[in-house]
Amino acid sequence: MAKKIIIWDITVRVCHWALVVGFILNYFIIEAGSDVHQIIGYTALSVVVIRLLWAIFSKGHGSFKGLELSRQKFNQHFEHIKCRSIPANSGHNPVGWLMVLFTWALFVGLAITGFMMEEIDIFFGNSLLESIHSIFSNVLYGIVIVHILAVFVVGWWGKISLAGAMITGKREM
């Protein structure tokens, strides 16, 4: 019988799915600039701050203790891909960490530009700020698509359940 190990703790998973829901609501459903849009945006910023603090102070796979962006770690990850054998006990690989950091930065940038447009009178209706906010949201949409594709392609190719672990927190060894 296969042993199940914890990969993602509840904080990492709740933050991940809260950002998913917030992004879907604000990008596809809620009217831009509305009060609900703003509340969701500020909530997403709060989630990013919580997740960042969790990365600093926790000890699991979602912590900065596992963040290594060295050439050796990238090569090791690409070797795992080449051999179609991703270790079952792995969390974020170096490419995944880059995606996480970039995603957090985009959520923060969206919150800052959104705040500036709505709460600072001099920036209300500023077309440059609106363009930057729009670019951030579209880039985030693009990396969401890349993320989803990578989860399924790397999971299939590397013979590992990546999506399942973000739902249950566990993976079979």
Partner residues linked to 171 by β-bridges:
5
pLDDT of residue 75: 97
pLDDT of residue 58: 95
pTM tops 0.75, yes or no: yes
Contacts of 26 (CB under 8 A, 6+ apart): 32, 37, 40, 41, 44, 137
Contacts of 19 (CB under 8 A, 6+ apart): 44, 47, 48, 103, 107
pLDDT band at 173 (very low <50, low <70, confident <90, very high): confident
Q: How far apart are CA 58 and CA 119, in angstroms?
A: 34
pLDDT in tens, 3-16: 999 999 999 999 99
pLDDT in tens, 47-94: 999 999 999 999 988 999 989 999 999 999 999 999 999 999 999 999
* First-to-last C-alpha distance (Å) of the chain: 10
pLDDT of residue 66: 86
Q: How far apart are CA 26 and CA 113, in angstroms?
A: 14
pLDDT in tens, 81-125: 999 999 999 999 999 999 999 999 999 999 999 999 999 999 988
pLDDT of residue 19: 98
* Model confidence at 157: pLDDT above 90: yes
Domain topology for 4-172? Fumarate Reductase Cytochrome B subunit (1.20.950)
* Model confidence at 1: pLDDT above 90: no
* Model confidence at 164: pLDDT above 80: yes
Residue type, 114: G
Angle at 147 between CA 96 and CA 17, to 5 degrees: 90
Q: How far apart are CA 114 and CA 50, in angstroms?
A: 20
Signed CA dihedral, 136, 142, 146, 148: sign only: positive
Three-state SS at 148: helix
Report the 3 state secondary structure along 37-97: HHHHHHHHHHHHHHHHHHHHHCCCCCCHHHCCCCHHHHHHHHHHHHCCCCCCCCCCCHHHH
Domain ranges of the chain: 4-172
pLDDT above 70 as % of the chain: 99
